[in-house]
Amino acid sequence: SKGFNLGIDFTGGTVMEIHATSPIDIEALRGALHELEIGDVQVQGYSDPHNAMVRLPPQQTEGDANLRAARAAIQRTVPDVTFGSSEAVGPKVSGELFINSLISLGLAMILVMGYIWMRFDFQFGVGAVLSLFHDAILTLGVFSLFRIEFTLPVIAALLTVIGYSMNDTVVVFDRMRENFRKYKTMPPSDVIDLSINETLSRTLMTIGTVLIASAALYIWGGITMRAFAICMLFGTVVATYSSIYIAAPALPMFGDRPGRPTKPAKGMMARGAAASE
C-alpha cells in the first residue's frame, strides 16, 4: 500500500502493546486476528522479538466485544502473553487532530517565511521558501516511502525541523548580507562561497549535536519515540543540506546582489551603450 501509515492519533481505533517471554510469531498472530473479521487489524513487530503492537480499527458498534475477541485470539496464539499499555481514540477526535496538525504545519511555514522575508531582501526570502518546502517534502516523503508510522510526535518533530532549517538558513544569510556589504566588488558567487565556508564549522557542530541527541532518542527512547527520532535524524540532515546547496545558491537566480534586480534598468542600458560608442 502507498501513502502515509497514519498512527492511532489520526485514524482512531485501539492500540495494544503485548509482551511475551518467548519470541512472538508475528505472522501467526496476524493470521489469527484476521480470522476474526473485525476490520483492518495491524500487527507490528519490533527489533525485540518478545514485544509487538496490535492496532485494531475503530468500531462503531460492539467495540468492547471486538476487543475481547482480539485479546482472546492473542492469548490463544501467544499463551505466555502479557498485555501492556492500551490506548483508544475515536474517529472524530482523530480526524480533528489530523486537520489541526496540518494547519499547525502550514501556519508555521507561513510565519517563518514571513519572518525571513521581512528581515532580509526579496532574494533571501525566495531562497528560504525553496529550502523550507524542500525540507518538508523530503521528510514527509521518507515517512510515506518506508511506511513509518505518522503520529503526533512526528508533527512535533517536523515543526522542530522547520525551525532548525530556518535557524541554519538565517545564520548563512546573515553572513552573506554582511559580506555583500563588505566586499562590494566581489562577484556574488564568490561572496556566497565565502559566507558558506565561514559558517560551515558552526553548521557542522550544530548538526553534530542534534544528531547525537536524536540518535540517543532512537536507541534508548523506546518504541514510542522511534518515529520522532527518525524524523529528527533525517530532517536535520536535509535542513543542513538545503541551507548550503539550495537557499544560498538560489540568491543569484533572482538578482545579482541583494536589492539589485536581475536585469539592469533601461536607463542604465542606454548610458552603457552611449559610453561604449
At 41-92, the pLDDT tens digits run: 888 888 788 999 898 887 654 557 888 888 999 999 999 999 988 877 766 5
Asked if pLDDT for residue 272 goes beyond 90, the answer is no
Q: pLDDT value at position 237?
A: 96
At 100, the pLDDT band (50, 70, 90 cuts) reads confident
Are 165 and 242 a contacting pair, CB within 8 Å?
yes
Per-residue HEC secondary structure of the chain comes to CCCCEECHHHHCEEEEEEEECCCCCHHHHHHHHHCCCCCCCEEEECCCCCEEEEEECCCCCCHHHHHHHHHHHHHHHCCCEEEEEEEEECHHHHHHHHHHHHHHHHHHHHHHHHHHHHHCCHHHHHHHHHHHHHHHHHHHHHHHHCCCEECHHHHHHHHHHHHHHHHHHHHHHHHHHHHHHHCCCCCHHHHHHHHHHHHHHHHHHHHHHHHHHHHHHHHHCCHHHHHHHHHHHHHHHHHHHHHHHHHCCCHHHHCCCCCCCCCCCHHHHHHHHHHHC
Asked if pLDDT for residue 268 goes beyond 50, the answer is no
For the record, the C-alpha cell of 265 comes out as 534598468
Q: pLDDT value at position 106?
A: 83
96-101 mean pLDDT: 80
Asked if pLDDT for residue 97 goes beyond 80, the answer is no
Q: Is the pTM of this model over 0.85?
A: no
Q: pLDDT value at position 267?
A: 41
| Domains of the chain with CATH codes | 5-89 (3.30.70.3400), 93-254 (1.20.1640.10)
Asked if pLDDT for residue 242 goes beyond 90, the answer is yes
Q: pLDDT value at position 205?
A: 96
What separation in angstroms does the CA of 75 have from each of 19, 69, 78, 82? 11, 10, 5, 9
* Mean pLDDT value across the chain: 83
Q: pLDDT value at position 266?
A: 44
Percent of the chain with pLDDT over 90: 39
At 1-20, the pLDDT tens digits run: 568 888 777 777 888 899 99
Q: Which of 9-13, 157-161, 175-179 is predicted least confidently?
A: 9-13
| Whole-angstrom distance, CA of residue 226 vs CA of residue 149 | 9
